[in-house]
Structure 1
């Protein structure tokens, strides 16, 4: 007998996307734009901050990593809380904190203040991403899920591109502080929109035997054209919940593989995202061209995300992601060999972003499919938390290697190798039911 989750999903799969589903995907995409803007603003402001405050590369690497430390804390501690308090409250609360911390960053006058505020910004983003990923996954039919998750995460590079454009206009005339002022105000202006337009997940509401939860679920079901009586007639089947499902159940082995992929992928990606503008300035490019290269990196990543999401409905997600990660590593190595040929540099930057960021977003789709409803936000939160350790290490390692005087080509090549490893490890990220089915088939043969 199908359980409640399967009954609800089968109804979503049988219907075209309703306006409410598009609304959920759009609002989560909008929040992710703010994530990308607010987090990556520091990479665009870094050359100006370093010049004004006379910071060395190693200190700048610590500043980059402080936001990622916060993201780790947010993903590990607050991300799983969405399985208890709901996806919607977590998104609204974290967006509010994100706006306030970004706004306050504009008033920072010392490295210590900057580190603290970037850490708080990171905590908010770390709390947001598991809920955003989970809500989009739970509102979309299976055939559109990869594309919907890819589109939602497209907001991140869009925010990065917007941040680069605004930085190029504001920083030369108004200073680096203006960039964070604009980001904070835009983020806070989004909170009322979320309060009015973002619904809670049905998978979260249905198991709750409370009048408010039942009423909210009924209102959402009407807008989706779903028969909740048929869904409620099915049993709610979960082997465990929360951390026990993720850390002790059959999801542990594929989960560890997923965490490893996130760790290695983020190590390379966040080195690239944070250091590209600064490294290119030191290599002789103008600040304007270096910022434009950072924008090209995000542009390529956005195109790569949509391409992978679209093609995954036709071809094996695992084969495509393996190819993306290998090619991403190749183009990052090539990027490290070029500094003066601007047109070639921009082309390689786009391709490096296309494959590396595009492949990494595929991991979010695998994460959404790996865990059951009752522990999905917990599983995704832990996976993202593991990834943040790589995201912390990447910028810091880059700062150390640059301080050692290594040539650009050598440390770009070294920090591209983790992507090659991900291409091999991601094949272990399969739901227990799929692995069991494969074993049964082989035994029968």
Structure 2
């Protein structure tokens, strides 16, 4: 444990060292509660997609007009992430997460009472705003409380809550919509999160890092001491003990945007961003419109939701196994996943009956695995000192694909294009993903892995060949 004297007779405890020292009940509780936030987000994403065929039929809305309902939530997410980021610096991470969760929970009830497309668009925009406030904080809190050598594992488990929630949403929609109508699943989306929010208010600790930087009241100091004692009960703390939040393993350096384009990154960064955008376009195209496509194939909305739930289980499996594949085979072999996604996306369009479900499940496995692989590739292409910036920018730009994918899908479906041609079209982005995955994987295996493992902090000094 690192300590440093700030004044005679006093000691300073480094919060970073305390939080990263070991797995504790606190770190597990934080991960589980934040998992529930992502599960709620996934459920919201799943039910709007599965309810869309019934909403469009009841309100007599064309697919081209309904596309913005999917896209506007992502736009709201982007606004919420910025606004709530500033709010969290003032009121704390826990309060911000609770406000964000409360917003998208209440908006689910508002959607239950919606009657027009314009109301639906506004509700989805504000829902996305709330999600943008809660989800980034949940990710930050999970990473903060996770042990140093298990951060990636904790965040991965936490983030899997989205896929679990989306899959559960599909199954719940399949069970409830035939008997109670599409509005019932949004009413449930309001009721179920309430006890979760209560548990968050009671059991989720405030960010220890934020508290250590904002110890301007005795109450905050007492709260921080309670958290630290729960993690390290044997730690000696008295009235003279001070707390600091310093990452002692590396010196804080000034960041320059030019570093994102140093050396080979001059073309690698744009390729990474384009890869993320194109992959998001295809994934959100399929994820949002698949229930309606299945209805156009002659299935009932409930049957379509059931198939979505089953294929979602394979998506969860693909998301979990892509990391194992990349660790064993190397990043260059990640291109196999989008390559197979091309095949099974194309096959899904003309399939019917039992073979349709088979192709959907296999495609979900490779499509979701392929998309998840980007989150593994992106941070590894940047040196440690700019890794967070590089990942953050890539993730933000990916929202472009998340926004335009559903809009393009709605326009194409409204043209009356055949299902085979539609899925041939949506398989095209995966061709680019396969190429980008291979090129970037080769660059990492041959160049960046050796560069950063040798202690190089920037690729600018490396050969540009």
Structure 1 residues 256 and 21, CA gap change in structure 2 (3 angstroms): farther
For 1:189 and 1:123, locate their aligned partners in 2 and report how far apart those are by CA, in whole Å: 21
Establish whether residue 123 from structure 1 lines up as the match of residue 129 from structure 2.
yes
Partner of 2:226: 219
1:302 paired residue among 316, 326, 344: 316
CA-to-aligned-CA distance 1:121-159 (integer Å, 9 cap, x gap): 111122222222222222223443333222112111211
- Following superposition, the deviation at residue 46 of structure 1 comes to 0.8
Q: Note the residue ranges of structure 1 that are not aligned, 5 or more in a row.
A: none
Specify whether residues 251 and 285 from structure 1 end up closer, same or farther in structure 2 by C-alpha distance, changes over 3 A only: same
- For 1:113 and 1:105, locate their aligned partners in 2 and report how far apart those are by CA, in whole Å: 8
Paired positions, count: 431
Secondary structure of residue in 2 paired with 1:250: helix
Of residues 97, 100, 110, the one that matches 2:106 is: 100
Determine whether 1:271 maps to 2:285. yes
8 A Cα contact 1:38 1:183, kept in partner:
yes
The alpha carbon displacement at 1:268 in A equals: 1.2
**What is the CA-CA distance between 1:162 and the residue it aligns to?**
1.6
Q: Deviations over 1:267-299 (max 9, x none)?
A: 111111111111121123333332222213321
- Once residues 68 and 12 of structure 1 are traced to their aligned partners in structure 2, the CA distance between those partners, rounded to angstroms, is 32
Find 1:185's aligned residue among 178, 186, 191.
191
Distance 1:162 1:308, change over 3 A: same
| Contact kept in structure 1, 2:20 and 2:145, CA below 8 Å | no
Go from structure 1 to structure 2 and tell me whether the alpha carbon gap of 1:55 and 1:234 turns closer, same or farther (over 3 Å shift). closer
Measure, in 1, the Cα distance between the counterparts of 2:383 and 2:214.
20
Query: SS state of the match for residue 184, structure 1?
Result: helix
Residue 108 of structure 1 aligns to a residue whose secondary structure is: coil
Matched residue, 1:339 = 351
For 2:260 and 2:452, the matched residues in 1 are separated by: 10
Deviation at 1:95, TM superposition (A): 0.1
TM-score using structure 1 length:
0.82
Confirm whether residue 153 of structure 1 aligns to residue 164 of structure 2.
no
The alpha-carbon deviation at position 355 of structure 1 amounts to: 2.5
Question: Residue 353 of structure 1 corresponds to which residue in structure 2?
Answer: 364
TM-score, normalised to structure 2's length?
A: 0.79
How far 1:113 sits from its partner (Å)?
0.4
Which residue pairs with 1:32 in the alignment?
38
Which among 341, 348, 362 is matched to residue 328 of structure 1? 341
1:398 corresponds in structure 2 to: 409
Q: C-alpha root-mean-square deviation of aligned residues, in Å?
A: 3.8
Structure 1 residues 402, 265: closer, same or farther in 2, change over 3 A?
Answer: same
Which structure would you say has the larger RCO, counting Cα contacts within 8 Å and 6 or more residues apart?
1
Q: Please tell me whether Structure 1 or Structure 2 has the larger radius of gyration of its CA atoms.
A: 2
Do the aligned partners of residues 35 and 252 (structure 1) sit closer, same or farther apart at CA in structure 2, a change above 3 Å counting?
A: farther
For the residues of structure 2 that align with 1:297 and 1:220, how far apart are their CA atoms? 41
Match of 2:59 among 18, 35, 53: 53
Q: Is 1:136 the counterpart of 2:145 in the alignment?
A: no
Q: Does 2:338 correspond to 1:286?
A: no
